[in-house]
């Protein structure tokens, strides 16, 4: 095996409207802005664990995680912990 690193594939394209449903404002909205856990810019939005996160940032992170899990499964035939 060589010492070269493999380049990561870009995350898959998300469907129009995204994959997360953030319509419930009692869960996904706060009157207080906090820095997004992914990009650091202020947001009123909260993810399902009530952490500050823009919907777009959360969906990009979800797509990246899914792509990495699929790649790990493809390379090793099973998912890693």
The per-residue pLDDT for range 35-53, each reduced to its tens digit, is 999 999 999 999 888 999 9
Rounded to two decimals, the pTM is 0.64
Residues contacting 53, CB < 8 A, separation 6+: 36, 37, 38, 43, 45, 46, 47
- Which helix or strand (DSSP H or E) is residue 65 part of? helix 55-76
Q: Is the dihedral of CA 44, 22, 9, 72 positive or negative?
A: positive
Q: Is the pLDDT of residue 26 over 70?
A: yes
Q: Quote the pLDDT of residue 72.
A: 80
């Amino acid at each position: 095996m060589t010492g070269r690193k493999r380049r990561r594939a870009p995350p898959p394209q998300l469907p129009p409207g995204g994959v997360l449903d953030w319509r419930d404002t009692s869960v996904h909205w706060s009157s207080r802005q906090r820095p997004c856990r992914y990009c650091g810019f202020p947001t009123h939005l909260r993810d399902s664990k009530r952490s500050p996160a823009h919907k777009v940032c959360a969906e990009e992170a979800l797509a990246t995680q899914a792509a990495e899990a699929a790649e790990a499964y493809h390379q090793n035939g099973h998912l890693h912990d």
